[in-house]
Each structure stands twice: as C-alpha cells, then as structure tokens.
Amino acid sequence: MKKILIASFDMEVGGVERSLISMLENFDYDHYQVDLMLYRHQGDFMNLIPVKVNLLPEVPQYTTFRKSISEVIKDKQITIGMARLLSKFTADLKGKAKKMTEPGYYQMQLMWKYAMPFLPKIRKEYDVAISYLWPHDLVAEKVKAKQKIAWIHTDYSMVETDLSIDMKVWSKFDHIFAVSDACKSSFIKKYPLFESKIAVMENIISPNFINRMANEAIFNPMGKDRRFKIITVARLSHAKGIDNAVKALKLLHDRGYEDIAWYIVGYGGDEALIKKLIINNQLEKSFIMLGKQTNPYPFMKQADLYVQPSRYEGKAVTVTEAMILAKPIIITNYSTAPSQVQDNIDGIICDMSIDGLADKIELLKNCSDIRDKIISNNSKKNFENENELEKLYSLLDANEKIHKFV
C-alpha cells in the first residue's frame, strides 16, 4: 500500500478547503494510506475530515504560518517571528517601490524563505507527497518522497511574486496539477520551463452533498426578503472584487433598482474596507454581510442570481456549486472565465468593471427568459466528476496497473 502525504494549511471555510475535503471523501483507501498534514488544526471543516485519513499531529513551528507575528513571538518562536517581521518589512518596501497591488503574495514567499532554516524536516518518508495549497515550500524542502506533486488553484499570471523564488520551488516537484485548462495555460505563460510537468485535474464536486446541504434548516434572513436577491460566496480580498460589487449595487440603486439586495457569505482581510464602502454608499440595508458560514448552500438556494465579481480566479468552486443549485450566474471576464462559464448558455460573462457588473445584473433582473434558459441548462448538466481522481491515481501508481487511467 503506497504511503501518501497531503499537506495544507488548515480547514478554515474556503473553496480550496472544500475541494480538499471532497477529494479525501472520494479517495481510494483500499490502495493508499493517506497522511494529512495541516499546519494548524483549526477551522470549521476539521470535523469533515474522513475517518480513514490519518491526521498528523501539529508541529509547533508550522502552526506559526496561521498566526499573527505577535502570537508567534508570544509562543516563543522568536527566530520565526523575526523572519516574519523581516519578510513584512521587505515586502512593504518592495511593494511600494514596484507599486504592487497585492504585496501579500511576495511577503508569503519571503516568510517561507527566511523561516526555512528554522523549520524541522518531516521524518517519515513517503511514496508521494502532495502540496495542496501555495506556497509549496514545505513539501519542496522538508519532505522526503519518491514523487512530489503541487496543486495550483489560481491564475498565477495575475499574482505578483518573485520569479527566482518561484523557479526554485517549482523545480522540486515532479508534477503539477491545475484545476482548469485556463489555469494551466496561464501558469505555462508565466513558467514555460515547467510545461511538461503540468496537467489538469478539476476540483472534485459532489452534487448530492451540495443539494442535501442546501436543504438544511438554518437561520436565513434571505428567506423573508422579497427583493431581487444576489448572492456571492467569497473570501473578502482584493482578488474577489467585493469592493466593486458594492459600487455596482450603488450604481443600480442610482438607476432606480432599489429593490435589489446583495448578500455576501465570507470573511477576510478586506472586511473593514468593504464595510466602510457600504456605509459611504448608504447601502447598509441592501448590501448585507453574512460573515463566515460553514454551510453556504441554503443562502445560495434562496438567491435569484449568483454573481462572482472576481479580478482573477483559477476555477471558482462556488460558481460550479451555484450551477449545481441551478442558479443563473454572472461572472466577470477574468482571464480564466471562459473555462468556467459558456457565455449565454450556463451563465453570463460581463466586463470586469462596475458598469459591466451593473449592466448584466440589470439585464438578468429584467429578462426572466434569459434567467430561465440558464437555470434550465444548469439543471440538465451532470456535475459528477469523481473520475478526475483517476488522473491522480495514474501518477501515484506509476507503472502499477491498479487503476485504469480515463
């Protein structure tokens, strides 16, 4: 039986974490022994980890990557705390000098680079080690395995990083999985040297689970709201474009559509910024933050329209989940959008602007025929894709013919 290590950060509520749980739920435990290394044992999805998965104990040094710098120093991880401070200082300086939109990605790279000498190696040797979430430094540098696989969930052409650090880390992996064809293409444009290593494996989706959870009885203020209801499920970050959603709703209200309410399920670092925008635009009763929700599906089910206003994506899990719930969809025209939505068939792709969002929302609100067509098309689609795991098994098995690659 092959020994597999899967490493990720934690089990907080998020699309990547949901996709990891789905993969673990469908894994072939008759042929593989799976160890799961979470850098920190926290998050509302912890209790969803399948019992057949061996959850490794926390390693104190690795828990620091999900803690604030003050917490790290308080925990007496002084050297790692100093490495974190240095990475923040350096990233802030370079970010301002190069006018980076999101210097946080570069800071994360430096954080791992500077902390690496103070991190312990993983003693157990594996047949295959999988790094499920970027940065991939731990599996690259601290794990001994016959094969190493890295997962990518985002459009790396849109992420501002240090290419020399990137190249060193990616070179340590034998294979790379992207969650969509467009995600793969954008990766190759940025890192053409690794084209031969990369393949596509879509996020594992369970329509039965999503539909079952959508019917769960929870407190849901959307149920009594008679307005036209939009829902977005996303991390509150620059990448997800929630700030543009606030501005688009303001524009719609200015056009006379005051019967539109926009609900947001999610949490993140931009929460204060978004709340300030809501107040400044006098949208307190119409742009409604629902916070972190372990089960977002009852909220999605109650909505008249799902909108993804992102600036960039790999392949948004939440968009596929909204399709499974047969919702009309609008997504912005980020570079990987055509790999997720067939425009005017199972959703609408709009210009990545405030006017673009507002125009298409206005269109779908006023045109029930277009909404009904999208709803009908999504309700007829088959979203079952457990066979995607065969792509992973083909690498895990190498020359062994336990599984047939489809």
| DSSP β-bridge partners for residue 35 | 5, 54
Which string of b and e fits 26-37 if b means at least 16 CB within 10 Å? ebeeeebebbbb
What CATH code is carried by the domain that includes residue 45? 3.40.50.2000
pLDDT greater at residue 66 or residue 27: 27
Same-domain status, 349 and 393: no
pLDDT at 169: 96
Q: Looking at residues 30-55, what average pLDDT do you find?
A: 96
Q: Which two tokens stand for residue 11?
A: 């089990």
pLDDT at 398: 63
pLDDT at 128: 96
pTM exceeds 0.75 for this model: yes
Question: Residue 59 — pLDDT band, cuts 50, 70, 90?
Answer: very high
Question: Residue 406 — pLDDT band, cuts 50, 70, 90?
Answer: very low
pLDDT tens-place string over residues 367-389: 999 999 999 999 999 998 888 99
Same-domain status, 217 and 154: no
Same-domain status, 14 and 163: yes
Same-domain status, 304 and 167: no
Q: Which two tokens stand for residue 232?
A: 């977005």
Same-domain status, 181 and 308: no
Q: Looking at residues 169-176, what average pLDDT do you find?
A: 96
Residue 73 lies in a domain: no
Q: Does position 364 have pLDDT exceeding 90, yes or no? A: yes
Question: Residue 392 — pLDDT band, cuts 50, 70, 90?
Answer: very high
pLDDT tens-place string over residues 133-162: 999 999 999 999 999 999 999 888 888 889
If one counts every other C-beta atom within 10 angstroms of the C-beta of residue 310, the result is 28
Q: Does position 403 have pLDDT exceeding 80, yes or no? A: no
pLDDT tens-place string over residues 99-114: 887 888 899 999 999 9
**Amino acid code (one letter) for 10:** D
Residue 54 lies in a domain: yes
Burial-class residue 158 by CB neighbours within 10 Å (0-12, 13-18, 19+). Answer: buried
Residues with Cβ within 8 Å of residue 87, at least 6 apart in sequence? 107, 108, 110, 111, 113, 114
Same-domain status, 130 and 240: no
Q: Does position 60 have pLDDT exceeding 80, yes or no? A: yes
pLDDT at 94: 84
Q: Looking at residues 159-184, what average pLDDT do you find?
A: 93
**Structural domain containing residue 19:** 2-59+120-204+385-397
Residue 175 lies in a domain: yes
Residue 279 lies in a domain: yes
Q: Looking at residues 43-53, what average pLDDT do you find?
A: 95
pLDDT tens-place string over residues 202-226: 999 889 889 999 999 888 889 899 9
Continuous segment of H or E residues that includes residue 348: strand 348-350
Residue 96 lies in a domain: no
Same-domain status, 279 and 364: yes
Burial-class residue 186 by CB neighbours within 10 Å (0-12, 13-18, 19+). Answer: buried
Same-domain status, 261 and 193: no
Same-domain status, 166 and 296: no
Q: Looking at residues 40-58, what average pLDDT do you find?
A: 96
Residue 29 lies in a domain: yes
Rounded Cα distance between 238 and 90, Å, is: 21
pLDDT tens-place string over residues 263-288: 999 999 999 999 999 999 999 999 99
Average pLDDT, the chain: 93
Residue 46 lies in a domain: yes
Same-domain status, 47 and 137: yes
Same-domain status, 260 and 173: no
Report the number of distinct structural domains present in the chain: 2
pLDDT tens-place string over residues 296-347: 999 999 999 999 999 999 889 999 999 999 999 999 999 889 989 999 999 9
pLDDT at 400: 52
Helices (H), 215-326: 242-254, 271-280, 297-302, 317-324
Residue 145 lies in a domain: yes
pLDDT at 297: 96
Same-domain status, 190 and 272: no
Q: Does position 404 have pLDDT exceeding 60, yes or no? A: no
Which string of b and e fits 226-249 if b means at least 16 CB within 10 Å? eebbbbbbbbbbbbbbbbbbbbbb
Rounded Cα distance between 31 and 397, Å, is: 10
